[in-house]
Amino acid sequence: MVKTKPIGSKKNTSNSKAKTVALLFSGGRDSSLACGVLAKKGYQIYLLTFNNGATIRQDLADNRYEELFKKFPDAIIKREIIPSYGLFKDLGLKNLEKDIKKYETNLICMSCKLSMHVISLIYCLENDIPTIADGYTDYQKKWIEQMPEAIEAVKRFHEEYDIKYINPVYSETSKEQVKDKLMKFGLSTKSLEGTCLFGGTFSIPEPHRVVSYIEDKLPQCRRYIKSHFDEKTDNFP
């Protein structure tokens, strides 16, 4: 399931994993700032980049990763590039017509993020990582996956597996703030992330519709996680 990006990979030699985190990493400004904030707080960081099958120039994030590793070599353990398109298709595309009729908007981006969270949960359970983080921000909260209500719903899902879900840069209220803090870290202020074909292809829904969508998809997410571990062992965590 996992492809390893070997540039700068190293073994986590810490005796305690209490401050180890898996960061959903696109290479964009917000997830890059989240990496810097987590590094400054003393976290050991695994950067997880997901291939949803619909992103143009995802390789741009490689440049950001190299920049971050040079800046925080003691904090970044490794980067993983993980395919998420199979689960994304199952969650968001197979029943797309029914979902649009039910929720009255296109919620594909939420299913894409859910697939990332599910695979991140598996990664953390397998590698004894207690925390998952992302680069969500207040100034982006109009987007469905970054709505406070959606974040809380996903957070409750993580708690089912004893994994903490945090948003270290959610207090950022503007792109200018993020760029200013990146500059203070000595990082590029450019957004070095690919462009998803599904970005901006939907109207903004009411938060309760997003939460309902998430809750309707979670049983499928749970089955995916259970199936993954059932194939490997009888001892499901």
131: left (phi over 0), alpha (psi -120 to 50) or beta: beta
- Name 79's bridge partners: 5, 47
User: How far is residue 151's CA from residue 166's CA, in Å, rounded to a whole number?
Assistant: 9
For a pLDDT cut of 70, what percent of the chain falls above it?
Answer: 91
Q: Which domains does the chain have, with CATH numbers?
A: 3-232 (3.40.50.620)
For a pLDDT cut of 90, what percent of the chain falls above it?
Answer: 78
pLDDT number for residue 5:
42
Over residues 133-143, the mean pLDDT reads: 96
pLDDT number for residue 16:
57
pLDDT number for residue 58:
84
- Reading the block at residue 104, the tokens are 């009255």
Residue with the larger pLDDT of the pair 221 and 12: 221
Cβ(141)–Cβ(236) below 8 Å: no
- Cα distances from 10 to residues 32, 63, 84, 114, 161, in angstroms, run 20, 19, 24, 28, 27
Residue 140 pLDDT > 70: yes
User: How far is residue 98's CA from residue 31's CA, in Å, rounded to a whole number?
Assistant: 33
pLDDT band, residue 236 (cuts 50/70/90): low
Q: What is the pLDDT of residues 53-85, one digit of tens each?
A: 878 888 889 999 999 999 999 999 999 999 999
pTM: 0.89
Cβ(3)–Cβ(58) below 8 Å: no
- Reading the block at residue 66, the tokens are 């190299």
Mean pLDDT of the chain: 90
